A and B are shown apart, each in its own frame.
Chain A
Amino acid sequence: MMEKMIFGRYVPAESVMHRMDPRAKLIIIFLFVCIIFLANNWFTYALIGIYTFIMLGMSRVPFKFLFGGLKPILWLVLFTFLLQLFFTKEGALVWSWGPVKIYEEGIRMGLFISLRFFFLILMTSLLTLTTTPIEITDGLETLLNPLKKVKFPVHEMALMMSISLRFIPTLMQETDKIMKAQIARGVEFASGPVKERIKAVIPLLIPLFVSSFKRAEELAVAMEARGYRGGEGRTKYRQLSWRMVDTLQLVALALLTVLLILLRA
């Protein structure tokens, strides 16, 4: 069931984007989210659009795949467009029909905001499409490392994330198993009124909770037995390597920023 969701779904491929350092990707996405607000005319939006599509092209993620997964979010984009369209009352009147009036500025704002939305979603999903969750975790851990000085538990957070990631498939398998066991006992998950179906989730969730706690306890014991005692003095097996491509990508983003500032209205 989770298979269809594009968020958090990694598409393995050999591409520049895939081989980039997760730190570089995280920084770029973060900055991109900031600089997208610089765009305020057709020129600047076109620039951002070109940039986004170049990045998408470099990722080698099939377009069909990208847009197929984006469908549910496109409704949201459409909704924001309509909202802007009907409620902005500036500029020349373009069209009216009874109480519905559409102004020039409304069309412009509607298009801009939905484009901005659209590009943002494309770029952020590009991160998760080309980076494994564990790489993202490693990237975040190193980027947030300076926060250790203010006692922010960076290592613990990263470990928590990686353990959660590791257990997602295990818990999914378990959910499936419990579901079958409950179906065998007469619980109906897929039919009946909505209220009944929601109730049916309870005999699924409770055993799942109980076993998760048991797992957590056993895992903690196993970790301790293998010498885990916090982040202090620990070395890391997985390594990140910053390469030329990563620096080049950052430079490209810097150029884009400069262009945006020059060209914006």
Chain B
Amino acid sequence: MKKSVVSLKDVSFQYDSEEQYALKSVTFDVYEGEWLAIVGHNGSGKSTTAKLLNGLQFPSEGEISVCGLQLNEETVWDVRKRLGMVFQNPDNQFVGTTVQDDVAFGLENMGIPREEMVERVQDALKKVKMDQFLYQEPHHLSGGQKQRVAIAGVLALRPSIIILDEATSMLDPRGREEVLETVRTLKNEKSLTVISITHDLDEAAKADRIIVMNRGEVYREGTPEEIFSMDEELVKLGLDIPFSVKMSKAFRQQGFQLSKHFLTEEELVTELWTSHSRM
């Protein structure tokens, strides 16, 4: 039985200035140790969901609980200790003047004694392989490095859940892979739960589970295989299909018999170079 660490029940949310609901009775659970991708086009409510999870906004209706804590104005600070968030813009979440100061920021906020802080900062930076850059200033770092520092800042607080709120969307492909690889390793090492809000479907393809959001509602929930077999339906929602899935489809149309839809390029390539022997 999978343990639910985050659960949303009939959550609705409306921004003050808008008539339409940004979220309409959204219900889903996030299970311990899984990598959940939430996808959707702009305005689908995926970023609003992230804000609600962290108590940056409170739902107009419905209940959210994180690690057994009912999220409200009293518990919000405890919830934030358990749930770390990495935002989109690498520059606009870098508070400290140097790498180590930035990682320490969250710890300072929690009133952790200095000796322990030093240890935790070192430790967290080592985990994201940024321990060589302790005294470096942010403008000398690449986007991917800044995002890794942001992850270290979150790790130092020892959360059980990490939310990536489009954390890779402003990075170049190399930075993106760097950040995702870091999170993947950490997830396995520390049995973290990862919620990744993204519109990069190649990233979503590697998740354990995907939630597709549309117009503030959960449109579909399922494994990457299930979601990407929706095909044209996804395109109608303003989303794309990963390149490898498109390729598999094209192959099939040309009469090549592939064993399944391939979610990642590596899988597809392997299938292709081994297929000759089977034909």
Measuring CB to CB, which residues of chain A are less than 8 angstroms from any residue of chain B? Answer: 134, 162-163, 165-166, 169-170, 173, 214-215, 218-219, 221-229, 233-239
Contacts and interface: CB of A to CB of B under 8 A. Distances in A.
A219 B95 contact: yes
Interface string B92-125: 1111110011001111111111100110010000
11 contacts: A134-B101, A162-B97, A215-B89, A223-B95, A225-B56, A226-B84, A227-B110, A229-B109, A235-B108, A235-B111, A237-B101
A226 B117 contact: no
B113 A235 contact: yes
A226 B96 contact: no
Contacts of A236: 108, 114
Main SS at interface, chain A: helix
Given A235-B117, A237-B117, A227 B96 contact: no
B87 to A, nearest CB: 6
Contacts of A170: 91, 138-139
A215 B92 contact: yes
A221 B117 contact: no
B144 interface: no
Contacts of A224: 56
A63 B61 CA distance: 68
B77 interface: yes
Contact of A237 (B100, B154, B157): B100
A226 B56 contact: no
B114 A226 contact: no
B32 interface: no
B109 A226 contact: yes
Given A162-B97, A226-B153, 8 more contacts: A166-B94, A169-B137, A169-B138, A214-B92, A225-B85, A228-B105, A229-B77, A236-B114
B80 A227 contact: yes
Interface of B: 54, 56, 77, 80-81, 84-85, 87, 89, 91-97, 100-101, 104-114, 117-118, 121, 137-139, 153-154, 157
Chain B binding site: helix, strand, loop or mixed by DSSP? helix
A239 B114 contact: yes
Nearest to A134: B97
A211 to B, nearest CB: 10
Contacts of A227: 77, 80-81, 106, 109-110, 157
B87 A218 contact: yes
A234 B111 contact: yes
Contact of A225 (B80, B104, B111): B80
Given A234-B109, A235-B111, A215 B80 contact: no
Contacts of B108: 234-237
Nearest to A215: B92
Nearest to A162: B97
Given A237-B101, A237-B121, A222 B109 contact: no
Given A166-B96, A219-B93, A237-B104, A173 B139 contact: yes
B91 A215 contact: yes
A227 B93 CA distance: 13
A157 B121 CA distance: 25
Contacts of B137: 166, 169
B95 A222 contact: yes
A12 to B, nearest CB: 11
